[in-house]
């Protein structure tokens, strides 16, 4: 099996696992009706650096539509995932050197380091959740509730993503 086929298989398994985990386990976990973890975004976050932008947008849209089908939310997750894909492109263009793509194909904790990975996950989760919760409510009269849901869900999601990154952390060989 060549490298491209392996990457496609690994990312297909990530897609299936992230959707299954979100739908069958995390959909039912809510802390005081304020904090809901949305760890399915980890699929988009862990896509390789060299994925073409159009493929990234299509995969993000498909992931969002899949979640929308299970959550019965017409287009909310799809829109938030497309925004997440856009912010991911901007963040990676700003923070990662173009020459490093050959040796380090994925933005994982073990490859990029804890500091970069935490900033990456935190900033992108904030954008995704802010857009998702504001689209969901779409009223200024409930801004305090929306902001508290946004903040607490972001912290909960980042915590779970970083814990999962640490669980699968592999030391980098030099």
Q: Considering only CA atoms, which of 79, 60, 72, 57 is closest in space to residue 15?
A: 60
CATH (domain of 97): 1.10.1760
How much of the chain exceeds pLDDT 90, in percent?
49
Cα 127 to Cα 5, 90, 173, distances in angstroms = 31, 12, 33
The answer as to whether 173 is a domain residue is no
Q: What is the band of 107 on the pLDDT scale with cuts at 50, 70, 90?
A: confident
Q: What is the band of 98 on the pLDDT scale with cuts at 50, 70, 90?
A: low
Chain segment 62-93, per-residue pLDDT in tens: 999 999 999 998 999 999 999 999 999 999 98
CA 92 to chain centre: 14
Full DSSP string of 16-75: HHHHHHHHHTGGG--BTTTB---GGGHHHHTS-TTS-HHHHHHHHHHHHHHHHHHHT-SS
Chain segment 2-11, per-residue pLDDT in tens: 777 887 888 8
Asked if the model's pLDDT at residue 102 lies above 80, the reply is no
Q: What is the band of 103 on the pLDDT scale with cuts at 50, 70, 90?
A: low
Q: What is the mean pLDDT of residues 106-132?
A: 90
Domain of residue 126: give its range. Answer: 3-167
The answer as to whether 158 is a domain residue is yes
The answer as to whether 172 is a domain residue is no
Chain segment 19-45, per-residue pLDDT in tens: 999 999 888 888 888 888 999 999 999
Residue 135 to residue 112: CA distance in whole angstroms: 32
The answer as to whether 143 is a domain residue is yes
Residue 112 to residue 108: CA distance in whole angstroms: 6
State the pLDDT at residue 61: 96
State the pLDDT at residue 112: 82
Cα 171 to Cα 36, 88, 104, 158, 167, distances in angstroms = 31, 25, 14, 21, 12
Report if pTM > 0.75: yes
Asked if the model's pLDDT at residue 119 lies above 90, the reply is yes
State the pLDDT at residue 133: 92
CB atoms within 10 A of CB 46: 17
The answer as to whether 70 is a domain residue is yes
The answer as to whether 118 is a domain residue is yes
The answer as to whether 157 is a domain residue is yes
- Split into its structural domains, the chain has a count of 1
The answer as to whether 174 is a domain residue is no
Asked if the model's pLDDT at residue 173 lies above 50, the reply is no
């Amino acid at each position: 099996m060549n490298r491209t086929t392996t990457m496609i298989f690994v990312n297909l398994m990530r897609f299936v696992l992230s959707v299954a985990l979100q739908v069958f386990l995390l959909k039912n976990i809510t802390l005081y009706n304020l904090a809901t973890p949305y760890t399915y975004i980890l699929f988009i976050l862990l896509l390789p650096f060299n994925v073409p932008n159009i493929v990234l947008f299509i995969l993000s849209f498909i992931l969002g539509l899949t979640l929308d089908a299970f959550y019965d939310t017409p287009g909310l997750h799809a829109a938030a995932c497309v925004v997440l894909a856009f912010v991911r492109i901007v963040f990676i263009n700003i923070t990662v050197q173009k020459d490093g793509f050959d040796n380090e194909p994925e933005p994982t904790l073990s490859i990029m380091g804890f500091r970069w990975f935490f900033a990456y996950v935190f900033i992108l989760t904030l954008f995704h959740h802010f857009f998702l919760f504001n689209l969901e409510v779409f009223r200024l009269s409930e801004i305090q509730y929306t902001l508290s849901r946004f903040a607490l869900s972001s912290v909960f999601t980042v915590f779970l993503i970083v814990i999962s990154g640490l669980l699968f952390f592999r030391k980098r060989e030099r």
